[in-house]
């Protein structure tokens, strides 16, 4: 078909501008050609009847792990990419801890090569350090196209080393994603410090560990002039320190993991290894603080924190189970569920997964306006969804499995091409 794609009768949500209205949208040559009410399709356009479903920019996830490169696992990179397309993700930035670690420019080149045939836009984050503890080739990786620099969840305890790394990274004006925890308070812990953790006999870390971690990194940002992304903040203590850092005029940002927006420590009270996560699930007060921080813009980005763990690694007692959850395909359902429950406005959640990460990484996508890249997701925010009941692309264990959620992705468009359609839709 030589025409474009015409999506009629959609609820158009553009988090970048705050617009939320009924209308139509036309795609041609990989960009948004026209948007607004009362549009007419061209004769050769493929017409998609939205019937009031929500249409927003495709999601941008900057925190998903893959088993490759350098390792094999329960989920190949191709499977992770298919899960991203089914989730409405148009841009997938792989965590620097993917595979054996993205520590060389060759790793970034490999991702760029795989991106040529991927249905979604594929990027990678450069790892801050090697397995031996040496500084990785971050300059060469950034030149090769790395989206940002990150410790990949591996806390850097050596402050002198971290200072040197941040000073070096600042010369490239790159964002450096770092784990904000106190080394000694967090080491060897698997639960949030609370009465429940004591009752269950679990080694626990206090919320203040994250506050101390943020304060340490903020001091280094002030010293080096580096741009720091506090990765996966999950506590009110950490958010308070983040707020202070921002008031001081530091160039800092923060992300939050999807799991911690829906679950709290009560969910892991039965010691189900599905809820063995890192960071651990926190208190309900912490969860509410995270939602408020996203709504008011203190938290810039939501990440899937997608971590495919082998079934045998999860099938252990809670303390011995590998941390992680397959979470990509839960992004839209969780946002819709939180909106339906009055906990987080849909536009605020979408902003943290579209225009905010796009602005952070300097990407042109993440907005609904004429001339913007045609990366789109069409979804039904009211559709009931028992997560996983109808099958998922990712075979890895998920904390969301069996959870009653709301919202389903109907169609994903990347660079003007349909890369996913729910079975029975758009046929």
Task: Dump pLDDT digits (tens) for 311-344.
Answer: 999 999 999 999 999 999 999 999 999 999 999 9
In this structure, how many other beta carbons lie within 10 angstroms of the beta carbon of residue 74?
18
- Mean pLDDT, the chain, rounded, equals 96
Give the CATH superfamily of 57-361. Metal-dependent hydrolases (3.20.20.140)
Which residues have C-beta within 8 Å of that of residue 99, sequence separation ≥ 6? 66, 67, 68, 69, 70, 71, 107
Q: Where in the chain is the domain with CATH 3.20.20.140?
A: 57-361
C-alpha pair distances (Å), 181 with each of 53, 72, 156, 219: 41, 29, 10, 14
pTM over 0.95: yes
Quickly list H helices, 19-104. Answer: 77-86
Does residue 166 sit in helix, strand or coil? helix
Mind giving me the DSSP string for 283-325? -HHHHHHHHHHHHHTSS-EEE--B----HHHHSS-GGGSPP-B
Give the tokens for residue 136.
């990785």
Q: Where in the chain is the domain with CATH 2.30.40.10?
A: 5-56+372-421
Helix axes 284-296, 236-247, angle to 10 degrees: 30
Which CATH number fits the domain 5-56+372-421, given the four candidates 2.40.50.140, 3.30.1490.20, 2.30.40.10, 3.30.465.10? Answer: 2.30.40.10
pLDDT at 427: 65
> What is the band of 424 on the pLDDT scale with cuts at 50, 70, 90?
confident
Q: What percent of the chain has pLDDT over 90?
A: 96
63 and 232 Cβ atoms separated by less than 8 Å = yes
Mean pLDDT, range 358-369, rounded to an integer: 97
Sign of the C-alpha dihedral computed for residues 338, 343, 349 and 351 taken in this order:
positive
280 and 189 Cβ atoms separated by less than 8 Å = yes
User: pLDDT tens-digit profile of 194-236?
Assistant: 999 999 999 999 999 999 999 999 999 999 999 999 999 999 9
Mean pLDDT, range 135-146, rounded to an integer: 97
Does residue 1 register a pLDDT over 80? no
């Amino acid at each position: 078909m030589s025409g474009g794609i015409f999506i009629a009768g959609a609820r158009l949500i553009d988090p970048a501008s705050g617009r939320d209205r009924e209308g139509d949208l036309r795609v041609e040559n990989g960009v948004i050609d026209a948007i607004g009410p009362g549009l007419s399709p061209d004769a050769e356009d493929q017409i998609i009847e939205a019937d009031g479903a929500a249409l927003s920019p495709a999601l941008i996830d900057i925190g998903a792990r893959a088993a490759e490169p350098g390792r094999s696992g329960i989920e190949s990179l191709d499977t992770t990419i298919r899960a991203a397309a089914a989730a409405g993700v148009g841009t997938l930035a792989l965590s620097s801890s993917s595979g054996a670690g993205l520590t060389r420019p060759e790793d970034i080149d490999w991702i760029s090569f795989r991106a040529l045939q991927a249905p979604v836009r594929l990027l990678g984050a450069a790892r801050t350090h090697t397995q031996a503890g040496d500084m990785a080739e971050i300059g060469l990786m950034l030149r090769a196209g790395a989206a940002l620099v990150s410790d990949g969840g591996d806390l850097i305890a050596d402050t002198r080393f971290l200072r040197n790394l941040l000073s070096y990274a600042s010369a490239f004006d790159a964002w450096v994603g770092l784990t904000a925890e106190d080394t000694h308070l967090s080491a060897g812990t698997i639960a949030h410090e609370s009465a429940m953790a004591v009752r269950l006999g679990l080694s626990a870390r206090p919320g203040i560990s994250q506050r101390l971690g943020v304060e340490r990194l903020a001091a280094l940002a002030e010293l080096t002039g580096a741009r720091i992304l506090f990765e996966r903040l999950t506590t009110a203590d950490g958010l308070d320190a983040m707020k202070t850092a921002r008031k001081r005029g530091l160039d800092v940002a923060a992300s939050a993991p999807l799991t911690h927006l829906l679950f709290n420590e009560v969910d892991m009270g039965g010691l189900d290894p599905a809820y063995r996560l890192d960071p651990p699930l926190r208190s309900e007060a912490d969860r509410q603080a995270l939602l408020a921080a996203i709504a008011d813009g203190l938290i810039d980005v939501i990440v899937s924190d997608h971590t495919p763990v082998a079934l045998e690694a999860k099938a252990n007692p809670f303390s011995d189970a590998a941390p992680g959850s397959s979470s990509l395909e839960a992004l839209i359902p969780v946002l819709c569920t939180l909106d339906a429950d009055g906990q987080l406005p849909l536009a605020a959640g979408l902003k943290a997964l579209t225009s905010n990460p796009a602005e952070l990484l300097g990407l042109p996508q993440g907005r609904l306006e004429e001339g913007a890249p045609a990366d789109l997701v069409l979804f039904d925010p009211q559709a009931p969804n028992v997560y996983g009941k109808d099958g998922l692309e990712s075979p890895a264990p998920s904390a969301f499995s069996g959870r009653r959620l709301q919202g389903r992705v109907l169609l994903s468009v990347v660079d003007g091409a349909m890369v996913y359609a729910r079975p029975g839709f758009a046929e």
